[in-house]
Structure 1
C-alpha cells in the first residue's frame, strides 16, 4: 500500500522559521549576542557539528544538570531542619523510597499498594529493585542510589521528549488535508524545541516525581499522528495513559477533529490501539492484586482540596466552608470540567467552519484553507481545564502542560511570564510547607501563598485565552505562518532614495 501524503518527506528547500526573525521576544533577546542575522553571515550556515538538533539537546542537558545540582542536597535523605523545604530540593522519588517500602525490596502492587498508574509503578519498582540489590551488595543505603538512578533515566526521558518535539516541529505537517501540495505548506519550526529544553520550570520540577516518564511517552503520539500512523500513535497514547492518566484527555480532541473532517477511522484505530495497550498493561495487576491496583482510583476520589488549587485559593479568599467537603468539590469540579470540555468541543468543531461561498474569499486574501484548530491546541485547553478546575494540582503537573503549550502556541513572550508564575508558586509552596511543618514563625504568610497560587491560576487561564484567540483568528497562529490581512489605509514603504509620489492634480 503506498504511503499516505502525511508520510511523504518534506520538499527540499522548505523554509525554516528562525525565532530571531519571527518571534518578538527572541528578536530582542538576540540583540545581546549580535542581532538576528549579521551582514556577513552565511545562509545556510556551514555547520560541522553544532546542528540545531544538537544545540537544543545540549541546552536541555544543561538544564537537567542544574536540576540535578538543585536536588542533590536532598538525595541522601535524612533531611534535617526541614532542609527539603528551605532548600526547595524536596522530591517524591527520595521520599517514597521508604514510604513505598522500596527500601525493604518490596515489589509495587504485590507487596504494597501504590498510588500511581501501573506503568509508573513498574518504573518505580524496577529501579527500586536495582537500588535495593546494589545497596545490599555494597552494604550501603540504597536511597541515594535509587534517586540518582531515577534522575538519570528521567533526564533521558526528558531528552527524548525534546528530540520528539524537535521532529514534530521540524516536519510541521498538516493533518487536516490529504492534498500532497498542502501537507508541507507550513514552514519548518525546529527551534520551537528550545522552549522545552530551556523551560525554567525544568530546573526545579524535572525530578520531583516521575512525570517526565509520562511526557516522553506522550510526545510520540503527536509525532506519529502527524505522520499518518494511527496505530503507532495509539501505541504511545496507551503507554502514556498507563503511566499518567492525563494523556487520556487527548482522545476527546482527537475524535472532535475526526468528526469535523468526517474521517473517523484513523482516530478510532488510535483510540482502540490505546485501549488495548492500556488493558494489556493493567490487566495482570488488576487480576493478581486488585485492591492494590484500585488504590490509585480510590485516592483520587477521596483526596480533599489540595494546596495551590483554584479551590484552595477561592476558599482562602472567600471563606466558603462548603469547599472543605471533598464530595461537594468533586461534584462541582465534574460539572465545571464537563462544561469546559463541551465548550472546547464546540470550539474545535465549529471554529472557522466555512460555507462553500466563503472559500473563494479566503483564498483571495491569502488565508487559504489552513483554518482548522490544531490537535495540540485543543489538547492543551483540555489538560489546562483539568488543572484549573481540579482539586489536585501538584507542582510537577506543569510538566504536562509545557510541551502542549509549546505545540499549541510557540511564542516566547507570555510563555516566560507563565514560567515565572510557576517558579513563584514553586517557591511559595515550600514556604507554605515550612509554615505547616515547622515551629510558629517560619514559612510565609498565608496571603502570600494565596497570591502566588492565584497568579499561577491566572497565568494558565490567560495562556488558554491566547490559544483560543489564535483558534478564532488563525492568522495569529505562529505555527501556520499565515499572511496578515492587508491594511487598505497603509502605504507600502518607498525604496531607499526614491522620491515621493507626485500629488494628483485637483479636479
Structure 2
C-alpha cells in the first residue's frame, strides 16, 4: 500500500468513530476502527458502498417478486404485498408496447393511447427501454404483451440499478474525507422499497451528480446536470436556489471568503441549466408541442391527491378544494418558504452546504405539493445523507417514510377503511407522521446551519471546499 493511500486512509472520517449509532452496531463485529486498522486495495469505501447498493437493490427486487409473477395484474396483491409499479400499465397504456413515440401527434395514435404525463427525460427513458424490450422480446405470432410488460420492468430495473450505483459513486465523492456518508443512500430501506415504482431514480442520480460537480468547483457541469435533472423531474431546478444563496452569501461576506465574482458563478450555473433543459426538451416540443404541454396542464389541473395535506384536509372537512385554489395557496407557501431559506442561509455564521439548502427547499415543496407518491422520498434521499449524515436522524426520518409507504398501499387496498364506513383516519395519521418526520429532518438541518458546531461534517477541510486558480475558496457542496 503506497504512502498516498495510507495518508488518505488516515485523513478519512471513519463512521464507527464518528457516529454513535454505527459505533454501537460495530460492537457486534469487533468494535470501532482501532489504531491497527489498515487500508485495503479491494475493500475501499467506494467498493463497499457499491456492493451495499447492489445488495439493497437486490432486496428491493425480491420484495417485488410476487407482483412480477402475476405481471402486476392482481390488484389486491399489488397492495397487500406493497409491490405495485407504474411501469407495466404504462408500457401498454401509453403506446410504448407498440413502439409509438411519446410525443407523436398522429391522430390515430392519440385516439388510441393517452399522452405520457411525465417530463421529457422520463418519457425518453421510458420509450428507449421499450425499444430495448421489443428488440429482445420473443418473436412469433403469439405475442404476449403481459409477458413483455414483465420484461420491460426487468429492463428498467437493470437501468435503475446502474443509476443507483452511479448515484452512490457521486455521493461518495462529494466529501473527500467522508465517503461513508453515502452509506445512508446505499442501504436506505426507501431505496429498496420505492426504486421500481416509477422513473424517479433518473432525476435522483442527476441531482447526486450535480452535488458532486459542485463539490469539484465545476459550475457549468453542475448547471448541465441540474438542467437535465429538471427535464426528468422539476425538483432538481430547486438546487439553483441553494446555489444562489451560497453565491449571494459569498458576495455579501466581509470575511476572508468574500468573492465578488460569486454571482457570475451562479449565472454560469443557471445559464448551463437553462441551456441543457431547452436542448433536452427540444425533440419533444418540435415533434409534438401539444403533447409536450400535457405534463404542464396535467399538473396544473390535478386536484388534491394521495399523500398530500390537501387530501387530508379535503377528506377531514368533507369539502372538495378546487385545483386553482390549491395551486395558489401552495405556491404562496412555497415562495414564503424559499424566502425563509434565503434568510436562514444569509444569517448563517458559515456558508451552508448545497445539500443542506437543497434539502430545505425540496422539503418545503413536498410538504405542500398536491400529491406525495411513495417514491417521492427518493427526491430527498441524496440531499439528506449529505445534509445530515447522522444515522439517528436518518433512521427517524426513514421510519416515517416507511410507515407512509405501507399505509398508502393499505389505504388503496381499502384495508384501512373503518368497518362502519367513512374515511380512513389511520391514513391521515400516516400522512401527518410522514410530514412530521420530514419537518424533524428540516429542523435538524436548520439548526446545523445556524450552529455549525453541531454539523457532523465538521470544519472546512471536510466540507468539499475547492481552491480556485486565484487561490480563493468558492464552493461548498
TM-score range, shorter chain: 0.7 to 0.9
Q: Distance in 2 between matches of 1:256 and 1:81?
A: 46
The question of 1:87 aligning with 2:81 is answered yes
What is the aligned residue count? 434
Change over 3 Å in CA distance of 1:482–1:279 after alignment to 2: closer
1:288-437 correspondence to structure 2 within 5 Å: 288-317=287-316, 319=317, 321=319, 324-352=321-349, 371-435=350-414
**If the length of structure 1 is used for normalisation, what is the TM-score?**
0.81
The question of 1:74 aligning with 2:38 is answered no
Of residues 208, 226, 243, the one that matches 2:232 is 243
CA drift at 1:439: 10
Q: Would the aligned equivalents of 1:432 and 1:444 in 2 still touch at CA under 8 Å? A: no
SS in 2 for 1:261: helix
Structure 1 equivalent of residue 446 of structure 2: 468
Structure 1, unaligned runs of 5 or more: 1-8, 172-187, 353-370, 484-507
Structure 1 equivalent of residue 465 of structure 2: none
Structure 1 equivalent of residue 437 of structure 2: 459
Q: Distance in 2 between matches of 1:195 and 1:385?
A: 21
Of residues 9, 14, 17, the one that matches 1:18 is 14
Larger Rg: 1
Structure 2 equivalent of residue 447 of structure 1: 425
Q: Distance in 1 between matches of 2:211 and 2:460?
A: 22
Q: Would the aligned equivalents of 1:102 and 1:132 in 2 still touch at CA under 8 Å? A: no
CA drift at 1:445: 6.9
Q: Distance in 1 between matches of 2:183 and 2:201?
A: 17
Q: Would the aligned equivalents of 1:19 and 1:26 in 2 still touch at CA under 8 Å? A: yes
Q: Would the aligned equivalents of 1:380 and 1:401 in 2 still touch at CA under 8 Å? A: yes
1:474-485 correspondence to structure 2 within 5 Å: 474-481=452-459
RMSD, matched Cα? 2.5
What do residues 157-210 of structure 1 show as CA deviations (whole Å, max 9, x unaligned)?
Answer: 0010001100112x2xxxxxxxxxxxxxxxx11111111101111121011111
Q: Distance in 2 between matches of 1:439 and 1:338?
A: 36
SS in 2 for 1:82: helix
Q: Would the aligned equivalents of 1:428 and 1:444 in 2 still touch at CA under 8 Å? A: no
Q: Would the aligned equivalents of 1:431 and 1:443 in 2 still touch at CA under 8 Å? A: no
Structure 2 equivalent of residue 214 of structure 1: 203
**If the length of structure 2 is used for normalisation, what is the TM-score?**
0.86
Q: Distance in 2 between matches of 1:253 and 1:78?
A: 40
CA drift at 1:90: 0.3
Q: Distance in 2 between matches of 1:324 and 1:74?
A: 35
The question of 1:200 aligning with 2:202 is answered no
Q: Distance in 2 between matches of 1:407 and 1:100?
A: 37
Q: Distance in 2 between matches of 1:202 and 1:44?
A: 31
Change over 3 Å in CA distance of 1:86–1:273 after alignment to 2: same
Q: Distance in 2 between matches of 1:442 and 1:271?
A: 55
Structure 2 equivalent of residue 120 of structure 1: 122
CA drift at 1:100: 1.1
Q: Would the aligned equivalents of 1:205 and 1:396 in 2 still touch at CA under 8 Å? A: yes
Q: Would the aligned equivalents of 2:417 and 2:423 in 1 still touch at CA under 8 Å? A: no
Change over 3 Å in CA distance of 1:49–1:336 after alignment to 2: same
